[in-house]
């Protein structure tokens, strides 16, 4: 406090008083957000760190066990490594597929398409409908007697596999369903980026004889690379947090072949009541997200162009 | 996060010109390539929309014809009353009401908290402002999954498990809204505020009479995103609600519907279609705002 008054004595006392009033008012404006953030973010984060070092049942006595939760996850938990693997597989399949489909659609829905804003809205609708609703629709389509197999058997005479009951197919369908539901978001980001392209640069490229694929890979994609980078990072983060789609579509099955990390965390905490184990697993997930995001930011210098 | 694009997101967000010929040059022969492009788009849209169309027509079928082979779009009869029967099966009306009330309360709270904090960060000068703001942004890095386990413990300590406030409060203080509002407020010219200040208006009055009215579009974007994210929320309600009959929300209702009435696909589809209506209407009505919001904020209702 004394240091504050010393530095402020240099200024005119009028400004000084005003500043102090402004600071006090700022405190008033900021206090709801600060209070909420302290109670519902900062405190839970601290609590979560503590929980991960305890044997912490939902009810009953807690016991400090150091790093045992973390060690046990990797050494004697039959579901954790598969859950890690499933999250990795889902992310590796979902992110590229989502980006390719959304970017292709954004490029396709260029100025020459009539009614393109209507198409954009259509592709965006599943992004905002409850994910539970989207999953139920797909669950019906993928039943052995559902639309896909129904059309295939009656029109082509080919019996398709039972998608949700075979480990390989189940994961593929979780990915396909998720891309269908989620790609409209990136499509809008890319569309917005494409519409802001500097006309002069495109014109110059055209004069120099660039068109078709060359125009796309040498001019257009580098110009929207910041948007592609942003979409890649965000899509990767959401992919690693996948939960509702496998939980509702396959229940994590068959076996544990589609159970991702977040579902593992959910089961540990709220089915088996092992809150400490769940907290530790959540921190491992967070570490993975942070590591991959940092890696993306390191790598962006190679391919993202921020200068227009 | 590219702050660059965000810095440009002041009130004067560039409206994408409705029909600029960017991207590819319109071909010399406006016929061939244009036609092909249209065909590809229409095909993609057809494939894409099939699940939604099929869901709607399935909701109109008698239950035993849902999985008929060969599949037919229109069954032996069209049962519009499936949409009414849903409400007799389980407390579906309660789910809808709960979802609406929670989404409205949550959105109101988020708007209030984000606008006030955004104003403090974006328009007022105070010691430590930038440091506190960085802390705020830092909390955006923490995923919900890390928070739900300790959050449930906190709810137990507060005695809030299975209460309405547990569905509204915990995730209403995310820094995202604050960040969005701050970016917007910073773009408002100071002269507008100075004049009012000289006339003796305090920050609260300038905030309410000058800054907020100028920020309608940003507030609209935040309203839509927040409402949708509360409406669709699944993981947290699944954890904190124990009594589905009275406190269940629509996504929870749909999920348990599938468990309870696993054999009644006709009603499941009717319920699913009903749950899609509000958000779809919002998107269609506010498409321009949404596109702008996503282009500027780069974050949506999740």
Q: Sign of torsion, CA B84 B86 B90 B95?
A: negative
> Residue A274's beta-bridge partner residues?
A57
Asked if B114's CB is within 8 angstroms of A33's CB, the reply is yes
Q: Pick the residue with more confidence: A13 or A174?
A: A174
pLDDT given at position B295: 62
Which residues in chain B are contacts of A282 at CB distance < 8 A?
A: 145-146, 149
pLDDT given at position B293: 67
CA A280, distance to chain mean position in Å, is: 20
Asked if A137's CB is within 8 angstroms of B272's CB, the reply is yes
* A to B CB pairs, distance under 8 Å: 314
Residue with tokens 């010393």: A6
3-state SS record for B24-79 = CCCCCCCCHHHHHHHHHHHHHHHHHHHHHHHHHHHCCCCHHHCCCCCCCCCCCCCC
Count other C-beta atoms under 10 Å from residue A270's C-beta: 18
pLDDT given at position A182: 94
The answer for residues whose C-beta is within 8 angstroms of residue B204's C-beta and 6 or more apart is A25
Q: Token digits for A157?
A: 């005479």
The stretch B270-292 carries a mean pLDDT of: 86
Residue B22 has pLDDT above 80, yes or no: no
Distance in Å, alpha carbon of B52 to nearest chain A alpha carbon: 7
Give the model's confidence band at A86: pLDDT under 50 very low, under 70 low, under 90 confident, else very high: very high
Nearest to B41 among A27, A119, A234 (CB): A119
Query: Whole-angstrom Cα distance, residue B215 to residue B220?
Result: 9
Asked if A40's CB is within 8 angstroms of B173's CB, the reply is yes
pLDDT given at position B294: 67
Asked if B24's CB is within 8 angstroms of A112's CB, the reply is yes
Q: Pick the residue with more confidence: A100 or B90?
A: A100
Residue B273 has pLDDT above 70, yes or no: yes
CA angle B191, B192, B194 (to 5 degrees): 60
Interface contact A189, partner B, CB < 8 A: yes
The stretch A81-87 carries a mean pLDDT of: 96
Residue B130 has pLDDT above 60, yes or no: yes
- Count, residues in chain A: 308
Give the model's confidence band at B83: pLDDT under 50 very low, under 70 low, under 90 confident, else very high: very high
Asked if B251's CB is within 8 angstroms of A130's CB, the reply is yes
Query: Whole-angstrom Cα distance, residue A52 to residue A66?
Result: 8
Query: Whole-angstrom Cα distance, residue A139 to residue A141?
Result: 6
Q: Which helix (H) or strand (E) holds A64?
A: strand A63-64
Query: Whole-angstrom Cα distance, residue B175 to residue B162?
Result: 25
Nearest to A125 among B204, B254, B283 (CB): B283
Interface contact A196, partner B, CB < 8 A: yes
Is residue A254 reached through a cis peptide bond, with omega within 30 degrees of 0 on the bond before it? yes
pLDDT given at position A200: 87
Helix (H/G/I), strand (E/B), else coil: A125: helix
Give the model's confidence band at A9: pLDDT under 50 very low, under 70 low, under 90 confident, else very high: very low
Residue with tokens 């592709």: A123
pLDDT given at position B262: 63
pLDDT given at position B261: 63
Interface contact A23, partner B, CB < 8 A: yes
pLDDT given at position A159: 86
Give the model's confidence band at A201: pLDDT under 50 very low, under 70 low, under 90 confident, else very high: confident
Alpha helices in B59-140 (DSSP H): 82-85, 92-122, 129-139
Helices (H) and strands (E) in chain B — how many of each? 17, 0
Which residues in chain A are contacts of B254 at CB distance < 8 A?
A: 130, 132-133, 136
Residue A155 contacts residue B79 (beta carbons within 8 Å): no
Q: Pick the residue with more confidence: A289 or B64?
A: A289
Interface of A with B in 77-136 (CB under 8 A): 105, 107-114, 116-117, 119-133, 136
Asked if B44's CB is within 8 angstroms of A108's CB, the reply is yes
Residue B253: domain span: 90-296
pLDDT given at position A95: 97
The stretch A181-207 carries a mean pLDDT of: 89
Query: Whole-angstrom Cα distance, residue A289 to residue B174?
Result: 19
Q: A51 to each of A45, A287, B83, B146, how far by Cα in Å?
A: 10, 16, 46, 11
What's phi and psi for A63, nearest 5 deg? -145, 135
Residue B130 lies in a domain: yes
Which residues in chain B are contacts of A117 at CB distance < 8 A?
A: 287
Query: Whole-angstrom Cα distance, residue B97 to residue A127?
Result: 22
pLDDT given at position A6: 43
Q: Token digits for B93?
A: 């009306």
Kindly report, residue by residue over A262-283, the tens digit of the pLDDT: 999 999 999 999 999 999 999 9
Domain ranges of chain A: 3-43, 72-303
Asked if B147's CB is within 8 angstroms of A241's CB, the reply is no
Give the model's confidence band at A307: pLDDT under 50 very low, under 70 low, under 90 confident, else very high: low
| Percent of chain A surpassing pLDDT 90 | 62
Question: B211-217: long-range contacts (C-beta < 8 A, 24 or more apart)?
Answer: B211/B119, B211/B123, B211/B185, B212/B115, B214/B11, B214/B188, B215/B11, B215/B115, B215/B181, B215/B184, B215/B185, B215/B188, B217/B11, B217/B289, B217/B292
Query: Whole-angstrom Cα distance, residue B180 to residue B300?
Result: 11
Beta strands A63-64 and A54-55 are antiparallel
Count other C-beta atoms under 10 Å from residue A305's C-beta: 13
pLDDT given at position A302: 83
pLDDT given at position B18: 39
Kindly report, residue by residue over B159-215, the tens digit of the pLDDT: 999 999 999 999 899 888 999 899 889 888 888 888 888 888 888 888 999 899 988
Asked if B146's CB is within 8 angstroms of A262's CB, the reply is no
The stretch B250-259 carries a mean pLDDT of: 84
Asked if B302's CB is within 8 angstroms of A25's CB, the reply is no
Query: Whole-angstrom Cα distance, residue A141 to residue B49?
Result: 13
Least Cα distance to A104 among A238, A211, A216 occurs for A216
Which residues in chain A are contacts of B235 at CB distance < 8 A?
A: 243-244, 262, 266
Q: How many domains does chain B have?
A: 1
Helix (H/G/I), strand (E/B), else coil: A55: strand
Is residue B239 reached through a cis peptide bond, with omega within 30 degrees of 0 on the bond before it? no
Residue B124 has pLDDT above 80, yes or no: yes
The stretch B232-249 carries a mean pLDDT of: 92
Q: What is the mean pLDDT of chain B?
A: 83
| Percent of chain B surpassing pLDDT 70 | 84
Query: Whole-angstrom Cα distance, residue A96 to residue A102?
Result: 10
DSSP state at residue A63: E
Give the model's confidence band at B218: pLDDT under 50 very low, under 70 low, under 90 confident, else very high: confident
Kindly report, residue by residue over B34-81, the tens digit of the pLDDT: 888 899 999 999 999 999 999 999 999 998 888 888 888 888 888 888
Query: Whole-angstrom Cα distance, residue B200 to residue A156?
Result: 79
The stretch B220-247 carries a mean pLDDT of: 90
Strands of A193-306 (E only): list them: none
Residue B169 lies in a domain: yes
Among the ranges given (A18-22, A38-42, A247-251, B92-96), the one the predictor scored with the smallest mean pLDDT:
A18-22
Query: Whole-angstrom Cα distance, residue B271 to residue B265?
Result: 10
Q: Sign of torsion, CA B208 B213 B215 B220?
A: positive
The stretch A205-232 carries a mean pLDDT of: 88
- Residue A49 burial (CB < 10 Å; 0-12/13-18/19+)? middle
Give the model's confidence band at B23: pLDDT under 50 very low, under 70 low, under 90 confident, else very high: very low
Nearest to A123 among B48, B265, B282 (CB): B48
Query: Whole-angstrom Cα distance, residue B31 to residue B54?
Result: 34
Query: Whole-angstrom Cα distance, residue A83 to residue A69?
Result: 16
Half-sphere exposure of A99 (CA within 13 A, CB side): 18
Residue A17 has pLDDT above 80, yes or no: no
Q: What is the mean pLDDT of chain A?
A: 89
CATH ID of A72-303, from 1.10.3720.10, 3.40.980.10, 1.20.140.10, 3.90.105.10 = 1.10.3720.10
Residue A65 has pLDDT above 80, yes or no: yes
Reported pTM: 0.87
The stretch A101-118 carries a mean pLDDT of: 90
Interface contact A140, partner B, CB < 8 A: yes
Q: Pick the residue with more confidence: B143 or B119?
A: B119
Give the model's confidence band at A115: pLDDT under 50 very low, under 70 low, under 90 confident, else very high: confident
Residue B21 has pLDDT above 80, yes or no: no
Residue B127 lies in a domain: yes
pLDDT given at position A272: 94
Count other C-beta atoms under 10 Å from residue A276's C-beta: 25
Helix (H/G/I), strand (E/B), else coil: A141: helix
Asked if B302's CB is within 8 angstroms of A23's CB, the reply is no
CATH code of residue B190:
1.10.3720.10
Describe the crossing of helices A131-141 and B32-58 by its angle, rounded to 10 degrees. Answer: 90
Q: Token digits for B299?
A: 């974050």
CA dihedral A99, A102, A103, A106 (to 10 degrees): -170
Give the model's confidence band at B297: pLDDT under 50 very low, under 70 low, under 90 confident, else very high: low
Residue A29 has pLDDT above 90, yes or no: yes
pLDDT given at position A8: 43
Asked if A289's CB is within 8 angstroms of B258's CB, the reply is no
Residue A1 has pLDDT above 80, yes or no: no
């Amino acid at each position: 406090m004394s240091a504050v008054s010393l530095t402020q004595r240099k200024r005119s006392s009028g400004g000084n008083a005003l500043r102090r009033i402004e600071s006090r008012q700022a405190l008033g404006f900021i206090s709801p957000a600060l209070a909420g953030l302290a109670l519902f973010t900062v405190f839970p984060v601290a609590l979560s760190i503590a929980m991960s070092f305890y044997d912490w049942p939902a009810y009953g006595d807690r016991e400090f066990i150091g790093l045992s939760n973390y060690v046990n996850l990797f050494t004697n938990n039959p579901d954790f490594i598969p859950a890690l693997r499933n999250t990795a597989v889902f992310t590796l399949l979902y992110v590229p597929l989502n980006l390719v489909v959304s970017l292709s659609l954004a490029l396709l829905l260029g100025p020459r398409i009539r009614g393109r804003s209507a198409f954009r809205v259509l592709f965006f609708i599943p992004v905002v409908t409850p994910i539970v609703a989207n999953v139920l629709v797909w669950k019906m389509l993928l039943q052995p007697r559902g639309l896909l197999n129904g059309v295939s058997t009656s029109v082509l005479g080919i019996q398709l596999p039972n998608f949700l009951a075979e480990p390989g197919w189940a994961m593929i369908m979780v990915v396909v369903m998720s891309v269908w539901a989620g790609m409209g978001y990136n499509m809008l980001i890319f569309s917005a980026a494409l519409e802001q392209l500097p006309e002069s640069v495109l014109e110059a490229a055209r004069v120099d004889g660039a068109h078709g694929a060359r125009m796309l890979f040498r001019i257009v994609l580098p110009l929207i690379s910041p948007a592609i980078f942003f979409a890649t990072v965000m899509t990767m983060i959401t992919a690693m947090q996948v939960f509702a789609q496998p939980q509702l579509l396959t229940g994590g099955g068959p076996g544990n072949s589609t159970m991702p990390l977040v579902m593992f965390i959910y089961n540990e905490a709220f089915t088996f009541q092992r809150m400490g184990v769940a907290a530790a697993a959540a921190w491992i997930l967070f570490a993975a997200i942070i590591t991959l995001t940092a890696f993306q930011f390191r790598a962006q210098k190679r391919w993202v162009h921020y200068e227009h | 996060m590219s702050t660059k694009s965000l810095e440009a997101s002041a009130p004067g967000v560039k409206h994408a010109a409705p029909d600029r010929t960017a991207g590819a040059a319109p071909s010399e022969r406006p016929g061939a390539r244009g036609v092909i492009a249209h065909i590809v788009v229409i095909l993609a849209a057809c494939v894409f929309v099939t699940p939604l169309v099929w869901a709607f027509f399935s909701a109109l079928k008698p239950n035993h014809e849902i999985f008929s082979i060969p599949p037919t779009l229109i069954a032996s009869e069209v049962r519009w009353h499936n949409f009414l029967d849903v409400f007799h099966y389980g407390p579906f009306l309660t789910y809808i009401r709960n979802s609406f009330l929670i989404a409205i309360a949550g959105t109101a709270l988020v708007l209030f908290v984000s606008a006030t904090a955004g104003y403090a960060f974006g328009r007022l000068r105070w010691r430590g402002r930038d440091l506190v703001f960085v802390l705020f942004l830092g909390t955006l890095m923490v995923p919900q999954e890390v928070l739900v386990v300790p959050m449930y413990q906190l709810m137990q300590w507060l005695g809030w498990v299975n209460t309405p406030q547990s569905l509204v409060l915990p995730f209403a203080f995310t820094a995202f809204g604050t960040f969005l509002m701050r970016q917007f407020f910073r773009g408002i010219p100071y002269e507008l505020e100075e004049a009012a200040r000289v006339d003796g208006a305090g920050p609260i009055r300038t905030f309410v009479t000058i800054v907020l009215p100028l920020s309608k579009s940003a507030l609209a974007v935040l309203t839509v995103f927040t409402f949708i994210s509360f409406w669709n929320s699944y993981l947290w309600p699944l954890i904190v609600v124990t009594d589905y009959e009275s406190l269940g929300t629509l996504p929870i209702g749909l999920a348990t519907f599938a468990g309870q009435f696993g054999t009644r696909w006709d009603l499941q589809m009717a319920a699913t279609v009903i749950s899609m209506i509000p958000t779809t209407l919002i998107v269609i009505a506010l498409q321009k705002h949404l596109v702008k919001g996503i282009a500027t904020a780069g974050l949506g209702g999740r």
